[in-house]
Amino acid sequence: MDKMINIIASSCILNNNKILMVQENKVDIKGLWDLPGGKVKIGEDIKQAVIRETLEETGYNIELNSILLMQNYVTSKGVLLIIYFNAALQDLKQEEFRKDEISNVKWLSLEEIESIPENKIRGGDGIKKIIYNIRNKIEYPIDILDIHNYIN
């Protein structure tokens, strides 16, 4: 049996010193707080995937600015790569979001996120590293994902 390879694209939207967080509504992770995002579909551009996932989960359209963090996990099930994008709102208008997947969308300060108990946050180690990177202004250019910039 082949092992899985999953790529997850997540967005960190910072606005007025708050980050947009989502509360999961799926059975196995119900109630956990997370950044908006999800699996990249086969044949989908990773940047388009994070824009799509963020709109589906929050109702907001975003634009991508940089990469805050990349994490790679190898488990008994396979490989997982998570890319966290630094994003900004395109406008303040919020559309409907997928309530079957997300029960709550909320702007939280960095301190509020840090005060969430570890068992109530999904991807807690990644989110802690993102907060560290935001505070220390650590980010990476988004064009590192554009391979054509390097092979021509």
Tally the domains of the chain: 1
CATH of the domain at 132: 3.90.79.10
pLDDT per residue as tens digits for the range 49-76: 999 999 999 999 999 999 999 999 998 8
Q: Do 126 and 21 contact (CB within 8 A), yes or no?
A: no
Question: What pTM does this model have?
Answer: 0.90
pLDDT per residue as tens digits for the range 93-132: 888 888 889 999 999 999 999 999 989 999 778 899 999 9
| Domain of residue 129, residue span | 4-151
Which pLDDT score, from 0 to 100, does residue 124 have? 77
Give bridge partners of residue 20 from the DSSP assignment. 107
Q: Do 89 and 62 contact (CB within 8 A), yes or no?
A: yes
Contacts for 96 with CB less than 8 Å, ≥ 6 apart = 59
Q: Considering only CA atoms, which of 68, 72, 10, 11 is closest in space to residue 38? A: 10
Question: What is residue 142's three-state secondary structure?
Answer: helix
